[in-house]
């Protein structure tokens, strides 16, 4: 049965269940005040019930929300007059959003963002767009929504200032109705990312996320105005779906309306429809909650991420005047101080990675397929959770996590009042933190993937008493909006008495960064405290690069000594044997996390390499070495370590490559699972069988190099499970192109990622090939970016050429809007060229 709360000052009247679906509401005259159960109820019903045939037909869509990405003009530089309608922008560059101007620029050590910020240009940029106001705009509410602008955006409509928003990772909107006019309108946006350094990683610059234009009637559901809270019964057989709805009335007169909520399953089948609620609206917002119940719900999980659809409709005078669809998932989860994490009553470890927002060669400019590919690569590795380090992500990223089955730790800030870089968000925190934090929760609250709100990463205030009050304030802000999810912060201070964020006694879970050796005694030092490894590892590696694994290197070795140990070619070994001193190798942390039930899980720093923070190297290094996967999306060897531990799929991975000087003693490693033993052969001769002992996570043989074939066979009960071979490669002879998708959408956005391999004449990858590859593209696509995953390459990402690094490079092809074919041809001096055909539909 439906439940109903009356919140705040409005009168909500639940119409009798006899209002059958063949009838609708027609409120034709101002209604008298009504009370449930009075005789007036029946009079009202008579007046409201009109047969379906008398319904007014809707003459405009109840709500339109259109992409507002096209036909912008852009100018790099400051142009204060560009806010004016009369400004002449004919010479400006035309482009489609999302757009990141930094990624288009040249790497330069002198760029003010510094190598830590990616070594690319920042500055000020202006965007302008002319548009025609939505139909009937005078009787409607028109809103522009920005998913994210980095940063300090200011917006003008027809010369009138409409607002500013400093934080570059937050979504925001402005109502435009007041300044809209018939005919041409001009919106101007100034983006100011000139005060540098402002970030410890690459931020990107510009309107780098999607923009939307929404038009609603004057009585409508508010922006982020639907909040779904499904409450699952203990036995999982029932769910009470509590729906909060905020409705505005901007007509300047009292209004009556009705609200209906309907729930559909993922096949589009209606499974529950509420009776209409009668709403009496004055000119302020109505905030109401209603309940619907569902029996035997299908639960959302990481393996079966099923979602339901809620459709909220507002009716007036027999017409649906607003309608909003909200996806939601039904799941329960808990963190336990002794038993760790469980989802839907089943205990599981959080196998997480931290991700920054950039998409490598595409920069910060949001592309849904680019994000989906990253998540596919993570999923195949066994990742079940993402921490959005250290800021709210693009909304599409969360949609993908819901759809693909990832748990999410949604993070608000990397700093509070105390700075990490000179011009970072600490400057805006005092004035904006409440608004930004509230908006993050309001925007993201319906995502089933989100299980944690993080109020900050390694916040400096943990070290002094100012941390107490701020923690309490931020936790209260979150809890006032959402009591269904725990609040966490990623901390580094492990002494409970010295950690003032912990001392605030407001967090639900202790999030510890690094310090894997403290996992064991955590329950002793923090009795009954729930525990999660919010950030771990920080191992360093360059794909396909190997120094001997004789010792573990800490690069840098401490916080004081100048780093001098690195390789001359700015690379780090891919035997899991290099890490920052505060971190560990992948295996070191993985072993500890596995051991203890109280460890809910870990978020490894990081899933992918990201632009900026090229620690420990100096220029020309300009992107990070921490990724399990390189910047181009090619897995490093540790990828297979996680795959062997975090998935049930059979894994057998051999490293390194097999091109060495004769006689050199090479350490051959194997990651494997689902087998009792692995036998290694060199040129057909067995080098012995081995199996992991104790807490081993890999096998190792010392093998004197000789040219030929290295082969490993994993066996279980004597039965062959997998075979892996690596051959000594000859000289580069030809190119191979492999598209991740050969058919893509002709929507102007979709991507095909083309892996370019440099092979010898027999088809073996040449493991140190560095050939320059030139690309020619024909047909309905263009090259959106190129890369090779090397952290110190200063070649541009927007180009039609790329040098291979350790045998590989990447071309990212983007579809135009016309269906057809795309042909990419790759050529290189002295190599047989290759082409690939992509169809766009």
Asked if residue 787 binds ligand GAL (CB under 6 A), the reply is: no
Name the active-site residue from 493, 535, 588, 780.
Answer: 535
Q: Give least dist CB 471 to ligand GAL, A.
A: 17
Tokens 């500013």 map to which residue? 164
Residue selected from 242, 384, 391, 538 as contacting ligand GAL according to rule CB under 6 A? 538
Identify the DSSP state of 635. B
Asked whether position 545 contacts ligand GAL by CB under 6 A, the answer is no
Cis peptide, bond prior to residue 205, ω within 30 of zero: no
Q: Smallest distance, Å, CB 457 to ligand GAL?
A: 5
Write the interaction track for ligand GAL spanning residues 612-651; mark x where CB under 6 A is met and - where it is not. Answer: -x--------------------------------------
Which residues are CB-neighbours of 322 under 8 A, at least 6 positions away? 62, 63, 216, 217, 219, 220, 221, 312, 313, 314
Query: Quick one: which of 430, 491, 503, 427 has its CA closest to 465?
Result: 503
Instruction: Identify which of residues 501 and 766 has a Cβ nearer to ligand GAL in the complex.
Output: 501
Looking at beta carbons only, is 26 or 491 nearer to ligand GAL?
A: 491
Residues paired with residue 21 on neighbouring β-strands, in sequence order:
none
Give whichever of 102 and 538 is closer to ligand GAL, judged by the CB atom: 538
Nearer to ligand GAL, 122 or 489 (CB): 489
Cα separation, 384 vs 386, whole angstroms: 7
- With respect to ligand GAL, which residue has the nearer C-beta, 83 or 356? 356
* Dihedral pair phi/psi, residue 50, rounded to 5°: -125, 140
Minimum CB–partner distance for residue 469 and ligand GAL (Å): 23
Crossing angle of the two packed helices 429-444 and 466-481, in degrees rounded to 10: 30
Query: With binding defined as CB under 6 A, does residue 415 bind ligand GAL?
Result: no
Catalytic residue among 154, 313, 396, 458: 458
Vertex 525 angle, CA 522 and 529, to 5°: 65
**Binding string to ligand GAL for residues 501 to 530, with x set by CB under 6 A, is what?**
------------x-----------------
Burial class (CB in 10 A: 0-12, 13-18, 19+), 724: middle
Residue 457 binding ligand GAL, by CB under 6 A:
yes
**What's the closest the beta carbon of residue 572 comes to ligand GAL, in angstroms?**
13
580 binds ligand GAL (CB under 6 A): yes
Compare residues 313 and 458 and give the one whose CB is closer to ligand GAL: 458
State which residue, 351 or 538, has the beta carbon closest to ligand GAL: 538
- Tell me the CA distances in angstroms from 815 to 183, 455, 811, one per residue in order: 32, 38, 13
Cβ count near 427 (within 10 Å): 17
Site string for ligand GAL, 198-217 (x = CB under 6 A): --x-----------------
In the bound complex, what is the minimum distance in angstroms from residue 454's beta carbon to ligand GAL? 11
Number of residues that bind ligand GAL (CB under 6 A): 10
Q: How far is the CB of 629 from ligand GAL (least distance, A)?
A: 16
CB 115 within 8 A of CB 614: yes
Comparing every residue's Cβ against ligand GAL, the nearest one is 538
Residues 182-201 that bind ligand GAL (CB under 6 A): 200
CA 830 → CA 62, 343, 634, 731, 742, distances in Å?
62, 56, 25, 11, 27
**275 lines the binding site for ligand GAL (CB under 6 A):** no
458 in contact with ligand GAL (CB under 6 A): yes
Helices (H), 445-585: 466-481, 500-503, 522-525
Among 212, 208, 241, which residue's Cα sits nearest to residue 224? 212
**Window 144-183: contact mask with ligand GAL (x via CB under 6 A):** ----------------------------------------
* Of 316 and 513, CB closest to ligand GAL: 513
For the CA atoms of 686, 692, 693, 699, the dihedral, rounded to the nearest 10 degrees, stands at: 70
Contact call for residue 494 and ligand GAL (CB under 6 A): no
605 makes contact with ligand GAL (CB under 6 A): yes
Touching ligand GAL, residues 720-779 (CB under 6 A): none
From the CB of 113, what's the least distance to ligand GAL, in Å?
A: 15
Q: How far is the CB of 458 from ligand GAL (least distance, A)?
A: 5
Minimum CB separation from ligand GAL for residue 691, in Å?
33
Cis previous bond, 197, omega within 30 = yes
As measured in angstroms, the least distance from the Cβ of 535 to ligand GAL is 5
Q: What is the distance between the alpha carbons of residues 788 and 543, in angstroms, rounded to a whole number? A: 10
Q: Residue 535 catalytic?
A: yes
Q: Do residues 758 and 733 lie in contact, with contact meaning Cβ atoms separated by under 8 Å?
A: no
Q: In angstroms, rounded to a whole number, what is the distance separating the alpha carbons of residues 402 and 311?
A: 18
C-alpha Rg value of the chain to the nearest Å: 29
Nearer to ligand GAL, 313 or 592 (CB): 592
Q: What is the 8-class DSSP label of residue 539?
A: B
- Total residues found in the chain within this entry: 841
Which residues in 305-343 are b (16+ Cβ under 10 Å) and which e? bbbbbbbbbbbbebbbbbbbebbbbbbbbbbebeebbeb
| 458 among known catalytic residues | yes
Per the CB < 8 A criterion, the answer to whether 375 and 401 are in contact is: yes
Q: Which is nearer to ligand GAL, 150 or 658 (CB)?
A: 150
Judged by CB under 6 A, the residue of 535, 637, 750, 780 near ligand GAL is: 535
CB of 401 to ligand GAL, least distance (A): 20
**Concatenated DSSP letters of 125-151:** EEEEEEEEPPTTGGGEEEEEEES--BS
- Report the catalytic residues: 458, 535
Binding site for ligand GAL (CB under 6 A): 200, 457-458, 513, 535, 538, 580, 583, 605, 613
């Amino acid at each position: 049965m439906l439940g109903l709360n009356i919140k705040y000052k409005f009168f909500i009247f639940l119409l009798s269940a006899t209002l059958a679906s063949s009838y609708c509401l027609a409120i034709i005259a101002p209604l008298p005040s009504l009370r449930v159960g009075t005789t007036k109820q029946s009079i009202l019903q008579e007046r409201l019930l009109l047969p379906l045939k008398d319904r007014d037909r809707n003459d405009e869509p109840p709500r339109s929300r259109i992409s507002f990405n096209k036909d912008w003009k852009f100018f790099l530089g400051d142009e204060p007059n560009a806010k004016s309608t009369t400004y002449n922008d004919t010479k400006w560059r035309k482009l489609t959003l999302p757009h990141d101007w930094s990624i288009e620029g040249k790497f330069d050590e002198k760029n003010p963002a510094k190598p830590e910020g990616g070594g690319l240009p920042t500055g000020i940029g202006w965007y302008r767009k002319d548009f025609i106001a939505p139909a009937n705009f005078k009787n409607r509410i028109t809103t522009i929504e920005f998913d994210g602008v980095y940063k300090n955006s200011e917006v003008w409509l027809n010369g009138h200032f409409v607002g500013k928003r400093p934080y570059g990772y937050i979504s925001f909107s402005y109502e435009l109705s007041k300044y809209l006019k018939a005919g041409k309108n001009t919106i101007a946006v100034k983006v100011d990312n000139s005060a540098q350094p402002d970030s410890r990683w690459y931020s990107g610059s510009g309107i780098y996320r999607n923009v939307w234009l929404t038009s609603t009637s004057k009585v409508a559901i508010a922006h982020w105005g639907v909040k779904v809270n499904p409450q699952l019964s203990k036995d999982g057989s029932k769910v009470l779906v509590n729906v909060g709805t905020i409705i505005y009335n901007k007509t300047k007169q009292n209004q009556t309306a009705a609200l209906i909520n309907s729930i559909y399953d993922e096949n589009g089948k209606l499974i529950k429809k509420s009776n209409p609620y009668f709403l009496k609206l004055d000119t302020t917002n109505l905030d109401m909650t209603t309940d619907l119940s569902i029996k035997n719900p299908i639960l959302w999980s990481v393996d079966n991420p099923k979602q339901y659809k809620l459709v909220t409709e507002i009716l007036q005078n027999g017409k649906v005047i607003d309608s909003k669809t909200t996806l939601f998932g039904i799941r329960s989860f808990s963190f336990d101080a002794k038993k760790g994490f469980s989802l839907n009553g089943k205990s599981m470890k959080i196998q997480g990675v931290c991700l920054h927002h950039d998409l490598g060669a595409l920069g910060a400019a949001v592309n849904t397929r680019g994000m989906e590919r990253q998540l596919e690569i993570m999923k195949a590795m066994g990742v079940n959770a993402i921490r959005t380090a250290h800021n709210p992500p693009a909304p599409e990223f969360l949609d993908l996590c819901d759809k693909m089955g990832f748990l999410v730790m949604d993070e608000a800030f990397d700093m509070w009042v105390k700075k990490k870089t000179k011009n970072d968000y600490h400057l805006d925190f005092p004035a904006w933190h409440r608004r930004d934090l509230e908006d993050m929760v309001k925007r993201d609250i319906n995502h089933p993937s989100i299980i944690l709100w993080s109020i900050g990463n390694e916040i400096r205030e943990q070290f002094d008493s100012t941390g107490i009050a701020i923690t309490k304030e931020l936790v209260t802000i979150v809890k006032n909006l959402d009591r269904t999810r725990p609040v966490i912060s990623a901390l580094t201070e492990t002494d409970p008495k010295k950690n003032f964020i912990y001392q605030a006694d407001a967090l639900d879970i202790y999030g510890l960064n690094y310090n894997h050796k403290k996992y064991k005694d955590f329950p002793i030092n923090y009795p009954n405290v729930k525990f999660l490894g919010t950030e771990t590892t920080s191992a360093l590696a360059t794909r396909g690069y190997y120094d001997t694994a004789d010792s573990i290197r800490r690069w840098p070795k401490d916080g004081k000594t100048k780093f001098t140990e690195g390789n001359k070619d700015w690379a780090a070994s891919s035997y899991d044997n290099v890490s920052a001193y505060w971190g560990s190798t992948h295996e070191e942390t993985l072993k500890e996390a596995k051991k203890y039930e109280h460890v809910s899980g870990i978020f490894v720093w990081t899933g992918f390499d990201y632009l900026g923070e090229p620690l420990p190297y100096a220029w020309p290094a300009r992107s990070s070495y921490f990724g399990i996967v390189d910047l181009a999306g090619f897995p490093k060897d540790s990828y297979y370590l996680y795959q062997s531990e975090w998935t049930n799929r059979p894994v057998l991975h051999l490293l390194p490559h097999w091109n060495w000087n004769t006689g050199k003693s090479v350490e051959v490693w194997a990651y494997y699972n689902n087998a009792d033993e692995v036998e290694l052969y060199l040129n057909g001769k067995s080098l012995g069988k081995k199996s992991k002992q104790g807490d081993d996570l890999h096998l190792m043989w010392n093998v004197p190099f000789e040219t030929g074939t290295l082969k490993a066979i994993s066996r279980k009960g004597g039965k062959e499970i997998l075979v892996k071979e690596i051959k000594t490669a000859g000289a580069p002879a030809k190119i191979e192109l492999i598209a991740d998708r050969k058919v893509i959408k002709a929507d102007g956005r979709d991507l095909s990622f083309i892996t370019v391999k440099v092979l010898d004449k027999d088809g073996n990858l040449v493991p140190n090939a560095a050939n320059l590859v030139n690309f020619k593209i024909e047909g309905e696509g263009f090259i959106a970016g190129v890369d090779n995953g090397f952290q110190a390459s200063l070649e541009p990402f927007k180009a039609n050429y790329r040098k291979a690094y350790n045998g590989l490079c990447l071309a990212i092809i983007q579809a135009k809007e016309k269906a057809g074919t795309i042909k990419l041809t790759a050529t290189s001096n002295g190599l047989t060229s290759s082409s690939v055909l992509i169809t766009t539909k």
